[in-house]
Structure 1
Amino acid sequence: MTPMEQPAQRPALKRAWWQFNAAWYRNRYAFIPPVADLRDEADILAFYQECGEPLGHSPNPFFDEEWYRQAYADVAAAIHARNVPSGFAHYCAEGFRDRNPNGFFDESFYRERQLGLSLEDLEHHGLRNGYDHFLSYGAREGRDASLFFSTTVFLEENPDFLHDSRLGPFVAFMENLHAPDNAVRRTSWFFDAAWYLRAYPAVSDQVHEWGHPLRHYLINATPAAFDPLPFFSERFYARSHPDVAEAVAAGDYRNGYAHFLRYGQQEGRRPHPQVDLAAYAKDPGVVAAIGTGRYPTPFAAYAALSGKLPEREEPAESAELHCRRAFRRLAETRTGALLARPLDFSCDLPDFSVVMVVHDQFPFTMTALSSLRATYPGPMQIILVDGGSRDETARIERHVHGLDIVRLAENVGFLAGSNAGLARVAAPYVLFLNNDVDIFPGAIDAALRRLRQEDRTGAVGAKLVRTTGQLQEAGSIIWNDGTTSGYLRDASPQCPEANYARPVDFCSGAFLMVRTELAKALHGFDPHFSPAYYEDTDLCVRIRQQGFDVLYDPDVTVLHYEFGSGNPADIDTILGRNIGRFFHKHRDEIEEHYTRDEANLLRARTSARARKHILFIEDYLPQPTIGAGFPRSNDIVRMMVEELGLHVTVYPVFPPREAPTGRYRDLPDRAEIIWDRGIAGLESFLHARSGYYDVLWIGRTHNAARLRPIIAACRAALADCRIILDTEAVASVREWGRMRLDGRTDLPVLADMLRQEFRATDFIDRFVAVSPAEADLIAPVVGREVAVLGHVKTPIPQNRPFAARAHFLFVGAIQNPQSPNLDTLKWLNDRLLPECDALLPPGARIRVVGHVTDSIDLASILTHPRFDPLGFVEDLAPLYETHRVFIAPTRFAAGIPYKIHDAASHGLPIVATDILCGQIGWTGGSDIATAPDDCPMTFAATMRETYDNETMWNTLRRNAIHRIFIENRKSDYLCALEAILD
């Protein structure tokens, strides 16, 4: 009894492949006279059973008898021996378990790739096999039947095709397989029907017999004589791969293409002399297209695009795609140059170790290694963990000497490979490094410096820059649901927010330098997260749990290809799983983190979340070299950041004219420097950071008037923010002194000038002065107590003796024509030297140092031959050490002259005017040599005496250093600063 006679014994589900289709059979075999005359279904079935089955007819459109007999030689032999009546009978009885019913459906492909179910799982649901599921459900769900029939491809390539949406296009296609217009329809990227008919005219002439050319390709008697599409050559493949030719000859594969589809394309074997599949598969556009599911394999992408590279519709992604391609090409070009001269990492005592896990991608690895060698010439240990590479990586020791290579049989991934490498680390610091990076100069030095100088830092991460020149991350954030995000992704690497160091939740394992002792104590990466994703996040969390910081350092800059050493297609499946594992492992800690929200981004960008936030506003960036009170502002910022551990945002009212080429080295590297906005952008800045700042510190009284309307407009954003005005130096005192020197008869009352200066300070919560004298002047005007914050200095006297020194030193910045320092130099040039030059020591020069604004020509002012204008000098210490006397003949000023404290702290005796002596509060003749500001001859005589009298010189030097030690101690300064902030 045939299967068609036993419907009652089958499950109720209607199986199209099992049933005899009389209407279809009559139409398909109408060329046989008896069949064309039959009308009754029972008669047609009887004819099939008596005549059609022995002749090799198919019973329905879903089972191809001719194909089945050709595909399975054992079935054909059984039919010939009369052990089974037909291939269809064999398929119904047992073949359905593991064999294919036709050339368009692949049972194992469908069960493994489309369903992920075993035969037992299907039978549990009343299904005989995957074909049952496909015809009943999968076809109309748009699933692929095999490599030779993709529903998506079929509909894209045949938009005119009409089918019943309830059954799916596969059913309609198979029911009309022998229709003339079906012969050229493309069903997959792996077979080109139209090209096949053009390439083989004999097949085209007989296509009515074959129905679709794929049937001819799959069941012709000489399978190695035909190519399936223009990008695969049987002859070339067999000649290029002798192992395949032997397997085909042994009957293991029908032809070379059968091997290529199953193994060759995954192995990157070349299918055609003009197709470099291995290189094509590495292209970022191809990797992305595979990852998003647009094409099943790189070869499918090649066939679909006729060898072109896939493009993206989105401009940004397209730009990144081109940049990634350029990076790869440059890596390949650089590798060619590197092979001519081997790299050498041989050493005995490495400063640090590098663990790099690789699998193929030889050009990437060579680029990373060459950048390591170029950016750090010192000794390092390179541990290369090779996960079964098949390219030139397997022979890399020919091109790179001194490697410590760990060879593994397979690609175990970053996590397991890194742990294998960690076991061999010999240096005190270990750098986990991807091979798809290019390290910028100074990065290694910066990371090592952090770990050597900061005991609390356990790991250092990099500013990762993508191939587009945009940020991948500037440190990363862990949210309270366990998800993460790279801070500032897609922003410019030069943006201020990316260019200050801070402790963070974690940094990417693409570049992560860790203390070796700590990494080994934690046993490296947790295998729980194997093969990848969240292993670096977990390690950083465990480092922080040990009491160490994970520090993001913008000086550690690395160009990262991103996904160059992995497959983005893995992300969705593995990432989702590992997020859950990570969350449950660290749940108690993670739930204390911020909720994933844009409003929480600023606070979440650092792991030091309990710190007070200070917004520090000054005229200009407080760089010590420009003088005019900015050295003091620099000290305040430095003490806030480095000693009190506060988060400080420095915001200049007048931003620099040009973007900085790097980080501002004379400002704390953990201070956020907003150099690019200025007063025009302050209101929007405050609104964007609503509720973020605890203290707003305003430098200089005149800025109160500038900021008053802005702060009024931002009151809601500053609701809980205390506003402090640091007067730095009371301008009225300086201006009143100028007027006095000018001999004005209408000299105003100083108290009136003070009231005018402080007229717009009603919104200030606390006032700060630089000296007790100025605090006493301000207090009555503002009607409240004024705090005092002077200068902080540590004595660092140089030991060069009196006799080994020579010349006078003047230091002072000149910002504008009204500068007290400009007045001083004019007075020296126009009054003192013409009248008293003979009183000064012969041969003694007056060296003039300091920043001078471009609008002032100092050379035309300093005409006396004693002057040596040196201009701006970065480091004054060598000048303090070699000169004998510091002079400060200032005639009007306010505040406390910073340069007096600076020179005294270096052990250089000072000659100054009485006005400066009064401001600083020292004893004239004992701590500092003084003279009136209106008597050039007396000042010149004092200069001469201090210069010539070694006893006096030593007394002034000793007493000034003692004053610095007593009055400018860091501990006292910090107490005063904390009291002001609290």
Structure 2
Amino acid sequence: MPKTAVELLRGETEIDAAWAVFDAEWYLATYPEADHCCGSDPGLALDYYLRFGCRLGHSPSPLFDELFYLNRNPDVAALIRAGQYRSGFDHYCQHGYRGLSPHWLFDDALYGRLYEDMTLDNLDRHRCFGRYDHWLKSGQREARIGHFMFDPQFYRARAIEAGADPEDLERCGPFAHYLYALYRDVPELAASPYFAPDWYAATHDRARAAIAAGIVRNALHHYVTLGGQDGFDPVPEFSESYYRDTYPDIRAAIEAGHFPSGYRHFVQFGAFELRRPRGDIDLLYYRDMNPRVRDDLNAGHVRDAFAHLRMIGLKDNLVFCPPERVPDIAEPAAKQLFELKARNQVALFARRRLNFAQHGPAALAVVMVLFNRFELTMLALASLRDNYADDIELIIIDNASTDDTRRIETYVMGATIVHSRENLGFLKACNRALELVTAPALLYLNNDIELGHGAIAAALDRLETDTAIGAVGGKVIRTHGRLQEAGSIIWADGSTIGYLRDASPLAPEANFVRDVDYCSGVFLLCRTDLIRRLGGFDEAFSPAYYEEVDLCVRMIEGGHRIVYDPDVVVHHLEFGSAANTEASMALMRRGRRVFKRKHAAFLKTKFESTPANIIKGRALDGRGKRVLFLEDTVPVRRLGSGFVRSNDAVRAIAEAGWRVSVLPVNGARHDIMSLFGDLPDTVEVLHDRTILTLPQLLEERQDFYDAIWISRTHNLDRTLPIFREAGIDPVRTPFVLDTEAIVAARDAASAAVGSERGDFDLAAALQDEFRNADVCRHVTAVNQAEAAMLRELGLPQVSVLGTIRDLDPTPRGFSAREGILFIASIHRRDSPNFDSLRWYRDAILPALIREMGTPPKLIFIGYTAPDIDLSEFADNPHIEIRGSVDDIRPAYNSHRVFIAPTRFAAGTPYKVYETASFGLPCVATDLLIRQLGWDKDAEIAGAAVDDARGFAREIARLYCDEETWRGMREAALRRLERENTRARFDATVKSILDEAGKPASKRRPYLRAVS
């Protein structure tokens, strides 16, 4: 072989390819024009096909789909039009069988990837003419998979259930049986667990119409050829839009052409990775909560958890998603458990007494007022001692207790304990204790609490950050796990509310630092000298309640701040020290009346008590400085790519005094600790929100944000309709677009080194990419070259916002280093980094061998996506693929030269900044050098993107010349220190925000034709 279609179909060769079939009966039944011309004579059908039908787009049998083949391979169609082949089938007979897919329900590349014995060499040895031949002859009967939507075993079972003859199925095979059924008037059967034909046809009107019009044969045919690309859902348990929105890496892969749909990725990879197919289906939960699922998967009864859910789990009502929230424990029961815990450990203190003896002046005084409840007091004191190891000036006022509190000295050493003969009440007892305090920081602490890890240290650290802070409070959690408060709000009528009462302590709104009206006296850390100047608590509020509200307001009126810190966690038995709840409520009502009379002027500045005002009243600081920051996901630094720069942008915005709410457009896929820990503690990380909930957020927060910062242009395109629907006016609420990288510039560079050279229309691509930029008050670029592109589009407010990279030079000297280093991530086969690696192997390395004889080994380090195969580099003795490593610094310390052979890219090359910061000289392409704006031969070495020999010469020069190496290392470090400092970056961000925040004058449309 190769043989022509004529030779194969006429039997003029001994080749027995299973796909080389002409079915005369089927052909005449399928093509009426052929039947008419042949007079229904099967003997004439082949001649008609070879003379006429093959040129009319006819298929010789159901095993080959001519129209699919031509549509899938336009280059073949062009060759047919030029007369080089009679038909697509003729091309397949001669060449296509070696790797092209002949039918919409067989994927040649997939078959080769799934089965290692399906190499063409191995097939040739066994007289199989391509993978499709093997599939038809044996693969379909061996339960192999030839397409992600056809499972031969599954279909065979469905066909037998529908009455098919098992012997007939065995003779022709499940796949051939299915193909012939396409042309019979029979109900469509499901061909795999991953497609529901009846549901699909009933759900999608366009699919139903296409089937009725004969455009497609059945529902599966429509989905595979049309519906998948158009975003149709194939089964009710999978949402294409949800999957693309939730996983930006998949959206990018689809846009790059690696997958026709998100579902294709999901079935091939995502189901094994336990990604969510729909918002309310959690495959990880499904597997872990159902032993049967794990057993069936381990036994190989089903391919993956999603297939198990569709085939078994739904029918048997197996749970597949956690409840919307963890069921609440009844608060009375939780209180009993808290009290029981205190009672059960009280015996500990008989032999292990608590020691608060001081070894010198203490930085912290703790005032605790007691009235009975000895067990709770000992739990609270033990928590205090365990929480903070340094000296504590503990002052206890016992308000005439009648239980074991009377002899608390027996169990607590080193404290100042005052036993009052009468019950002074909380307020007066605190004022009496204030007379005894000598420490500079004073903590008022209830005796019905248990402290969270590091609460006191966190509060002290916060108090020390600013001398203007008068008091620090924390996140108070009631015994049943719900919030009592995350800071508190004072309303215009004098009433108060604990912010987020009954919400989860993990709610985004509860986990950022902010100034508030007041914090509860359950835990209130204050400056002692300030409290003394204010005279302690106002005894007009005696015996208790509203005294800490009054105290905090007096601090605010004196120019001090009250700060809520979520790292200060306090578990509280609410009303645990009160006689009864109603008595407490009566005291609160009285305290409110006193407070209103005393602070009438202050209350005029507060909001009315309405649900809509809660979001505005939750913080005192940042008025007029609130920004909603949109990014693909929460910009955790370990994600690399542009997310490091986004993380720096969030930090800079916060540093500029703006309150930032970060909304991940595609959702947050990382653990809460990473999300909260990788951004400033003043930033609200909306980890439970996505683009799907953005409308709800804007509804809840009307007139709340003073600016919108959007990272990446595609996020502007996706969210702009939502902002418009919400009535957000970009004139009044300015938009800042941080481009991160201009995609059109990268695509143009890619086209310049590919087969599309000269065909790429950069001007049109730029117009399309920035078609919505006219709403933005300010646009940023990462370098001067891209800023110039934006200005040419007519964008008047354009700034260069570069990249931060702190210096961290590695110490090893020139002679102690060896080898070439290339560190990069490869997410897609068409990525710049994959192209770089191949260009090095194919062009630069041979030139380097001519330059150096035996070249240094290139070490490639970096993340590689699961579907990227780098085995093509395995046999090259001069290249070593190491993959991901936890710590890259040792690699920078041991290698002599870094290379960045990037031929197409946009933005700025962070890897070069990183390399320079570690003190490793770099050879890069002129493309990257232009993006950097660095001086060639001074701070970086380089060559043109089409000059492999020049690139090799630069590697050899830098590798062998120590003086050049040292000079370039030091020059690059100086350049970084001059241009890539955090101070410069922060100043640029502040300037952008200051400019965006000015009143907007009437502006002309930004976009115009590119000259």
Measure how far apart 1:493 and its partner are: 1.0
After superposition, the C-alpha distances for 1:43-76 in whole angstroms (9 at most, x for unaligned) are xxxxxxxxxxxxxxxxxxxxxxxxxxxxxxxxxx
Kindly indicate whether residue 653 of structure 2 is the aligned counterpart of residue 640 of structure 1: yes
Kindly indicate whether residue 618 of structure 2 is the aligned counterpart of residue 584 of structure 1: no
After superposition, the C-alpha distances for 1:249-269 in whole angstroms (9 at most, x for unaligned) are xxxxxxxxxxxxxxxxxxxxx
Q: In structure 2, do the counterparts of structure 1 residues 322 and 738 end up closer, same or farther at CA, with 3 Å as the change threshold? A: same
Measure how far apart 1:841 and its partner are: 12
Kindly indicate whether residue 637 of structure 2 is the aligned counterpart of residue 624 of structure 1: yes
After superposition, the C-alpha distances for 1:848-877 in whole angstroms (9 at most, x for unaligned) are 66555555577886776764747364x877
Q: Tell me, in whole angstroms, the C-alpha distance in 2 between the residues paired with 1:837 and 1:408.
A: 91
- What's 2:583 paired with? 570
Q: Tell me, in whole angstroms, the C-alpha distance in 2 between the residues paired with 1:864 and 1:332.
A: 71
- What's 1:471 paired with? 483
1:326 to 314, 326, 337: 337
- What's 2:612 paired with? 599
- What's 2:979 paired with? 967
RMSD of aligned residue pairs (Cα, Å): 3.4
- What's 1:511 paired with? 523
Q: In structure 2, do the counterparts of structure 1 residues 716 and 734 end up closer, same or farther at CA, with 3 Å as the change threshold? A: closer
Alignment of 1:152-163 (within 5 A): none
For 1:346, give the aligned amino acid: A
Q: Tell me, in whole angstroms, the C-alpha distance in 1 between the residues paired with 2:866 and 2:595.
A: 58
After superposition, the C-alpha distances for 1:827-854 in whole angstroms (9 at most, x for unaligned) are 5566656774797899988666655555
For 1:483, give the aligned amino acid: S
Measure how far apart 1:891 and its partner are: 2.5
- What's 1:374 paired with? 386
Kindly indicate whether residue 800 of structure 2 is the aligned counterpart of residue 784 of structure 1: no
1:336 to 339, 347, 352: 347
Q: In structure 2, do the counterparts of structure 1 residues 774 and 469 end up closer, same or farther at CA, with 3 Å as the change threshold? A: same
Alignment of 1:580-979 (within 5 A): 580-642=593-655, 644-657=656-669, 660-661=672-673, 664-715=676-727, 720-745=732-757, 747-781=759-793, 783-791=794-802, 793=804, 796-798=807-809, 800=811, 802=813, 806=817, 810-828=822-840, 836=848, 853=865, 856=868, 867=880, 869=882, 871=884, 873=886, 885-905=897-917, 907-935=919-947, 938-943=950-955, 945-946=957-958, 949-968=961-980, 970-971=983-984, 972-979=987-994
Measure how far apart 1:907 and its partner are: 4.8
Q: Tell me, in whole angstroms, the C-alpha distance in 2 between the residues paired with 1:844 and 1:451.
A: 56
Q: In structure 2, do the counterparts of structure 1 residues 836 and 881 end up closer, same or farther at CA, with 3 Å as the change threshold? A: closer
Q: In structure 2, do the counterparts of structure 1 residues 975 and 766 end up closer, same or farther at CA, with 3 Å as the change threshold? A: closer
For 2:416, give the aligned amino acid: D
1:392 to 386, 398, 404: 404
Tell me the percent identity: 39
After superposition, the C-alpha distances for 1:285-308 in whole angstroms (9 at most, x for unaligned) are xxxxxxxxxxxxxxxxxxxxxxxx
2:543 is paired with a residue whose SS is coil
- What's 2:357 paired with? 346
Alignment of 1:74-473 (within 5 A): 319-349=330-360, 350-473=362-485
- What's 1:306 paired with? none
For 1:976, give the aligned amino acid: S
Q: Tell me, in whole angstroms, the C-alpha distance in 2 between the residues paired with 1:872 and 1:759.
A: 40
Measure how far apart 1:508 and its partner are: 0.8
Q: Tell me, in whole angstroms, the C-alpha distance in 2 between the residues paired with 1:725 and 1:450.
A: 33
Q: Tell me, in whole angstroms, the C-alpha distance in 1 between the residues paired with 2:955 and 2:452.
A: 52
Q: In structure 2, do the counterparts of structure 1 residues 653 and 585 end up closer, same or farther at CA, with 3 Å as the change threshold? A: same
After superposition, the C-alpha distances for 1:653-709 in whole angstroms (9 at most, x for unaligned) are 111236624652121111111111211111121122111112112211112221232
Q: Tell me, in whole angstroms, the C-alpha distance in 2 between the residues paired with 1:811 and 1:389.
A: 69
For 1:963, give the aligned amino acid: R
After superposition, the C-alpha distances for 1:561-613 in whole angstroms (9 at most, x for unaligned) are 11112232333332222223223333222211212121211111101152311
Measure how far apart 1:387 and its partner are: 1.9
Whether the aligned pair in 1 keeps the contact of 2:915 and 2:921 (CA below 8 Å) is: yes
1:926 is paired with a residue whose SS is coil
Q: In structure 2, do the counterparts of structure 1 residues 840 and 408 end up closer, same or farther at CA, with 3 Å as the change threshold? A: farther
Unaligned stretches of 5+ residues in structure 2: 1-325, 998-1011
- What's 1:981 paired with? 996
Unaligned stretches of 5+ residues in structure 1: 1-314
Whether the aligned pair in 2 keeps the contact of 1:356 and 1:383 (CA below 8 Å) is: yes
Moved more, 408-417 or 808-817: 808-817
Whether the aligned pair in 1 keeps the contact of 2:778 and 2:996 (CA below 8 Å) is: no
Q: Tell me, in whole angstroms, the C-alpha distance in 1 between the residues paired with 2:336 and 2:934.
A: 68
1:454 is paired with a residue whose SS is coil
Name the TM-score, length of structure 2 as normaliser: 0.61
For 2:587, give the aligned amino acid: I
Measure how far apart 1:720 and its partner are: 3.1
Alignment of 1:468-507 (within 5 A): 468-507=480-519
After superposition, the C-alpha distances for 1:200-244 in whole angstroms (9 at most, x for unaligned) are xxxxxxxxxxxxxxxxxxxxxxxxxxxxxxxxxxxxxxxxxxxxx
2:549 is paired with a residue whose SS is helix
Measure how far apart 1:544 and its partner are: 2.5
2:577 is paired with a residue whose SS is coil
Measure how far apart 1:471 and its partner are: 0.8
Measure how far apart 1:895 and its partner are: 1.3
Q: Tell me, in whole angstroms, the C-alpha distance in 2 between the residues paired with 1:428 and 1:858.
A: 63
Measure how far apart 1:440 and its partner are: 1.3
- What's 2:77 paired with? none
Q: Tell me, in whole angstroms, the C-alpha distance in 2 between the residues paired with 1:482 and 1:884.
A: 69
Measure how far apart 1:619 and its partner are: 1.0
Q: Tell me, in whole angstroms, the C-alpha distance in 1 between the residues paired with 2:369 and 2:815.
A: 59
Q: Tell me, in whole angstroms, the C-alpha distance in 1 between the residues paired with 2:870 and 2:378.
A: 54
Q: Tell me, in whole angstroms, the C-alpha distance in 1 between the residues paired with 2:332 and 2:424.
A: 28
Name the TM-score, length of structure 1 as normaliser: 0.62
Whether the aligned pair in 2 keeps the contact of 1:695 and 1:721 (CA below 8 Å) is: yes
Q: In structure 2, do the counterparts of structure 1 residues 658 and 771 end up closer, same or farther at CA, with 3 Å as the change threshold? A: closer
Q: Tell me, in whole angstroms, the C-alpha distance in 1 between the residues paired with 2:534 and 2:815.
A: 57
Moved more, 344-353 or 471-480: 344-353
Moved more, 514-523 or 503-512: 514-523
2:393 is paired with a residue whose SS is strand
Q: Tell me, in whole angstroms, the C-alpha distance in 2 between the residues paired with 1:857 and 1:523.
A: 73
Whether the aligned pair in 1 keeps the contact of 2:777 and 2:996 (CA below 8 Å) is: no
2:724 is paired with a residue whose SS is helix
Alignment of 1:517-528 (within 5 A): 517-528=529-540
Measure how far apart 1:386 and its partner are: 2.0
Measure how far apart 1:496 and its partner are: 0.9
Q: Tell me, in whole angstroms, the C-alpha distance in 1 between the residues paired with 2:816 and 2:557.
A: 55
Q: Tell me, in whole angstroms, the C-alpha distance in 2 between the residues paired with 1:925 and 1:824.
A: 21
After superposition, the C-alpha distances for 1:70-125 in whole angstroms (9 at most, x for unaligned) are xxxxxxxxxxxxxxxxxxxxxxxxxxxxxxxxxxxxxxxxxxxxxxxxxxxxxxxx
1:680 is paired with a residue whose SS is coil
Measure how far apart 1:521 and its partner are: 3.2
Whether the aligned pair in 1 keeps the contact of 2:863 and 2:883 (CA below 8 Å) is: no
Moved more, 429-438 or 906-915: 906-915
Measure how far apart 1:957 and its partner are: 3.4
Q: Tell me, in whole angstroms, the C-alpha distance in 1 between the residues paired with 2:917 and 2:577.
A: 55
Measure how far apart 1:514 and its partner are: 2.0
| Equivalenced residues, count | 665
For 1:607, give the aligned amino acid: L
